[in-house]
């Protein structure tokens, strides 16, 4: 059993001066004059951590919390908006991840904390919820003395101002113990006291509550049999009953509500029956989908935003060419329209609101500028600058232009890609960086990307294909990636290069591939399979050995399902794992990996380098391996970002100078 005290001990309350938080002048949201990008920005500007990440407002809208970059390290900050620059608390999180932040009431905030701990001689990722008093005077690790591995699933927060939540968590890491399956407790975040709401049930790992705090539904999954079941009850005083079952081996699935409405027999759910995900009304008695509420033809939907009561839709997020939102709340829809008019050709996103929607934090930026966060009090009618995202790039600075393009793969499949062109250069015969995204069930869109803008600033065109198997484009497009890791998915990348050359944008003799995670895998695979097409390859935190990745994933819950999925994506692990084909690498490759990567083990790159050496490849000429001792999977440290960009720039200058 994992104790929470070790995690809590890493949370150190400190104080200091945070000069970047406040601007002495209240900046307006009128579009600033465009500033031409200089010929060459310093690499340090692109390596900067975002000054602010994920700000969330308290229910009254008078405080906010966010992750801040201070001296190149991420810290958690809680600030009083109206009291000026000295009324804030800065909290160091050490090597912990701060995965999310949510306010419980105006005095208490909760944070999802993740850290790696040793269990049974192996590193395990452990999650917790910490509650923090807004004035910084107290921190509680919730269920810290009884929780096991997973303990950060908050399924409900009280809306009456009381400091209560419902927390779903494990009390054992052993499947033979009943506590392996999460229980649900009502937790007082101010005192840390626990009260059982629902006990553990075999195979049930996910619980769902309605707006009143009644646990209404549970999803059970038997990994050995690959079968699911849906437990349901009408109210807190009723017994759970199984109302639906599904066999994953037959591609069956359960319809699980996204939101329980004010009508106890109705809910809102998502379904992809028309090819892409859409929102529908759901009858809980019959489990039949009713009226379609909203969809975006050609694109899947993202998360929903609940109304203030928690029983209705305020909005839904989605990504077409760029991140977007559809507001159902008329007040937010009007505010969004007004802000859109005010910011001109920039994009405005309402990031967080007070409970009554009268105060909010808005991000304003573009794909070619990191932008800034603004505080908007509707009673005053003016947006004031809360913080820039970048210290180096002002709110009016624009770097390299970004747009969405489409090309045809060799089998005729239409593929969207994000193209970034170096500012001030003609889009003709440019050196090209092909940058496949990670995931691979993910996608790129028109939004600020520090890697991409750095490369474009150095004179490269950057092309980011949303190859088959990417998310966001519907079920059929995602399924086209099944069985195609390193095969047709790799062909899609090559076809993107051919398109750019045919359009006259890229010079066919000056192309490199750069990627991270799955993108790093694709870069390795390209160096091994298609070396003649690329002058060089760069892999950050890439996967080289699919079988080893599966062995590592074996310690996680529902490994059987994960293995089934991987076998669908790559039926023959050995054939498409670059580590098994080191002798075939035919273009220089830079391999970089963080030693503290918790997503992809550092051995994936370390052992790839060893195999290349054993195959007779010369270090420094055929490959370069760099292991960053303190880096994780997500570049959480500014020093690691800087080191990566400097090595990337030097490698590209040697093998594909712009």
**160-213 pLDDT, tens per residue?**
999 999 999 999 988 888 899 999 999 999 999 999 999 999 999 999 999 999
Strands (E), 51-147: 52-57, 63-70, 73-80, 88-92, 97-103, 108-119, 122-133, 139-142
Host domain of residue 457: 402-655
Examine residue 426 and state whether it is found in any structural domain, yes or no.
yes
- Secondary structure of residue 259 in the 3-state scheme: strand
Confidence at residue 434, expressed as pLDDT on a 0 to 100 scale? 98
Contact status, residue 466 vs residue 341, Cβ threshold 8 Å:
no
pLDDT higher than 70, residue 80: yes
Over residues 539-572, the pLDDT tens digits come to 999 999 999 888 766 544 445 556 666 777 887 8
Q: What per-residue confidence (pLDDT) applies to 591? A: 98
Average pLDDT over residues 127-143: 94
Residue 640 lies in a domain: yes
Does position 538 have pLDDT exceeding 50, yes or no?
A: yes
Residue 241 domain flag: no
Distance CA 358, CA 379 (A): 7
pLDDT at 1: 32
Q: What is the pLDDT of residue 559?
A: 53
In a domain, 134, yes or no: no
Question: What is the SS3 assignment for 104?
Answer: coil
553 vs 122: CA distance, rounded Å = 12
Cβ within 8 Å of residue 515, ≥6 positions away = 435, 436, 437, 438, 521, 522, 523, 538, 539, 540, 542
Answer yes or no: is 213 within a domain.
no
Mean pLDDT across 255-278: 94
Tell me what pLDDT residue 59 has: 97
d(CA 334, CA 356): 15
CA R_g for the chain? 25
pLDDT tens, residue by residue, 27-63? 333 444 444 545 799 999 999 999 999 999 999 999 9
Average pLDDT, the chain: 90
Determine the average pLDDT of the residues in 222-243: 89
**Per-residue confidence (pLDDT) for residue 561, from 0 to 100:** 58
Is residue 502 situated within a structural domain?
A: yes
Residue 255 predicted with pLDDT over 80: yes
Q: Is the predicted pLDDT of residue 2 greater than 80, yes or no?
A: no
| pLDDT of 307 over the 70 cut | yes
pLDDT number for residue 11: 31
Tell me, what's the pLDDT at 125?
84
**Residue carrying the six token digits 């399902």:** 561
Give whole-number Cα distances, 114 to 100, 128, 217, 503, in Å.
Answer: 10, 6, 26, 46
334 pLDDT above the threshold of 70: yes
Q: Give the Cα separation of 100 and 110 in Å (integer).
A: 8
Cα 139 → chain centroid: 26
Percent of the chain with pLDDT over 70: 91
Distance CA 245, CA 252 (A): 9
Q: How far apart are CA 97 and CA 491, in angstroms?
A: 36
Neighbours of 429 (CB within 10 A): 15
What's the N-to-C CA distance of the chain in angstroms?
54
pLDDT tens digits along 81-132: 876 655 788 888 888 889 999 999 999 999 999 987 877 677 778 899 999 9
Bridge partners for 349 per DSSP: 363
State percent of the chain over pLDDT 90. Answer: 76
C-alpha to C-alpha distance for 551 and 563, rounded to whole angstroms: 9
The secondary structure element, H or E, covering residue 197 is: strand 194-198
CATH no. for residue 642?
A: 3.40.50.1820
Residue 218 in tokens: 């549970």
The pLDDT of residue 553: 60
Dihedral over alpha carbons 507, 513, 514, 517 (to 10 degrees): 150
Average pLDDT rounded to a whole number, residues 607-630: 98
CA distance 79 to 86: 9
pLDDT for the residue 24: 27
pLDDT of residue 532: 96
Instruction: Say which range, 246-250, 283-287, 303-307, has the weakest mean pLDDT.
Output: 246-250
Query: Residues 380-435: pLDDT tens digits?
Result: 988 999 999 999 998 889 999 999 999 999 999 999 999 999 999 999 999 999 99
Domain count, the chain: 1
Which of 152, 112, 175, 151 has the alpha carbon at shortest distance from 556? 175
Burial class (CB in 10 A: 0-12, 13-18, 19+), 474: middle
In Å, what is the CA distance from 254 to each residue of 198, 261, 291, 653? 22, 19, 18, 52
Is 387 part of a structural domain of the chain? Answer: no
Least confident of 87-91, 470-474, 509-513: 87-91
pLDDT > 50? residue 25 = no
Q: Is the pLDDT reported for residue 445 higher than 70?
A: yes
- Nearest CA to 392 out of 13, 10, 24, 43 is that of 43
**pLDDT of the residue at 568:** 77
Q: Is the dihedral of CA 543, 549, 555, 556 positive or negative?
A: positive
Q: Per the domain annotation, does 447 fall within a domain?
A: yes
> 469 and 441 in contact (C-beta within 8 Å)?
yes
Q: Where are the beta strands (DSSP E) in 561-649?
A: 589-594, 623-628
Model confidence at 3: pLDDT above 50: no
User: Can you give the pTM of this predicted structure?
Assistant: 0.90
Q: Is the peptide bond before 440 cis (omega within 30 degrees of 0)?
A: yes
């Amino acid at each position: 059993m994992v104790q929470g005290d070790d995690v809590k001990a890493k949370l150190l309350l400190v104080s200091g001066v945070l000069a970047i938080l406040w601007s002495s002048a209240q900046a307006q949201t009128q579009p600033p004059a465009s500033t031409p990008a200089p010929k060459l920005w310093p690499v340090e500007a692109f390596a900067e951590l975002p000054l602010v990440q994920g700000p969330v407002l308290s229910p009254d809208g008078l405080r906010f919390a966010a992750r801040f970059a201070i001296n190149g390290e991420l810290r958690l900050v809680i600030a009083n908006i109206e009291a000026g620059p000295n009324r804030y608390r800065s909290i160091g999180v050490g090597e912990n991840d701060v995965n999310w932040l949510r306010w419980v009431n105006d005095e208490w905030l909760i944070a999802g904390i993740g850290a790696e701990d040793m269990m049974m001689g192996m590193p395990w990722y452990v999650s917790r919820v910490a509650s923090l008093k807004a004035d910084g005077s107290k921190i509680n690790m919730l269920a810290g003395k009884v929780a096991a591995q997973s303990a950060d699933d908050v399924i409900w927060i009280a809306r009456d101002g009381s400091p209560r939540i419902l927390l779903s968590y494990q009390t054992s890491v052993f499947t033979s113990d009943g506590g392996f399956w999460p229980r649900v407790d009502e937790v007082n975040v101010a005192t840390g006291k626990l009260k059982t709401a629902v006990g553990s049930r075999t195979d049930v790992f996910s619980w769902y509550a309605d707006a009143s705090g009644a646990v209404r539904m549970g999803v059970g999954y038997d990994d050995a049999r690959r079968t699911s079941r849906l437990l349901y009850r009408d109210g807190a005083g009723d017994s759970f009953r199984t109302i639906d079952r599904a066999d994953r081996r037959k591609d069956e699935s359960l319809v699980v509500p996204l939101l329980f409405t004010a009508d106890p027999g109705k809910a809102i759910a998502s379904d992809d029956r028309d090819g892409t995900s859409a929102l529908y009304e759901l009858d809980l008695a019959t489990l039949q989908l009713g009226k379609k509420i909203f969809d975006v033809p050609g694109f899947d939907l993202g998360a929903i935003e609940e109304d203030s009561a928690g029983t209705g839709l305020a909005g839904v997020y989605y990504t077409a060419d760029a991140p977007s939102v559809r507001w159902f709340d008329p007040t937010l829809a009007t505010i969004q329209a007004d802000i859109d008019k005010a910011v001109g050709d920039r994009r405005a996103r309402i990031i967080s609101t007070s409970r009554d929607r009268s105060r909010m934090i808005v991000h304003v930026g573009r794909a070619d500028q990191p932008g800034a966060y603004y505080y908007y009090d509707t009673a005053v009618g003016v947006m004031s600058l809360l913080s820039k995202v970048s210290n180096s790039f002002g709110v009016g600075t624009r770097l390299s232009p970004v747009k969405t393009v489409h090309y045809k793969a060799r089998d005729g499949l239409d593929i969207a890609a994000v193209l970034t062109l170096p500012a001030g250069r003609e889009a003709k015969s440019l050196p090209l960086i092909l940058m496949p995204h990670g995931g691979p069930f993910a996608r790129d869109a028109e939004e600020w990307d520090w890697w991409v803008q750095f490369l474009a600033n150095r004179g490269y065109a950057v092309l980011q294909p949303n190859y088959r198997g990417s998310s966001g484009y519907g079920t059929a497009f995602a399924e086209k990636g099944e069985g195609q890791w390193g095969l047709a998915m790799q062909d899609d990348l090559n076809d993107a290069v051919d398109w750019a050359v045919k359009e006259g944008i890229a010079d066919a003799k000056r192309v490199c591939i750069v990627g991270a995670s799955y993108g790093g895998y694709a870069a390795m695979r390209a160096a091994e399979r298609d070396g003649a097409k690329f002058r060089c390859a760069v892999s950050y935190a890439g996967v080289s050995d699919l079988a080893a990745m599966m062995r590592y994933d074996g310690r996680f819950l529902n490994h059987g399902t994960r293995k089934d999925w991987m076998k669908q994506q790559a039926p023959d692990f050995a054939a498409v794992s670059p580590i098994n084909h080191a002798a075939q690498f035919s273009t220089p490759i830079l391999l970089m990996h963080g030693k503290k990567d918790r997503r992809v083990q550092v051995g994936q790159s370390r052992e790839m380098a060893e195999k290349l050496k054993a195959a007779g490849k010369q270090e420094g000429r055929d490959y370069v391996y760099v292991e960053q001792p303190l880096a994780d999977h997500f570049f959480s440290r500014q020093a690691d970002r800087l080191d990566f960009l400097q090595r990337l720039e030097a490698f590209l200058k040697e093998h594909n100078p712009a």
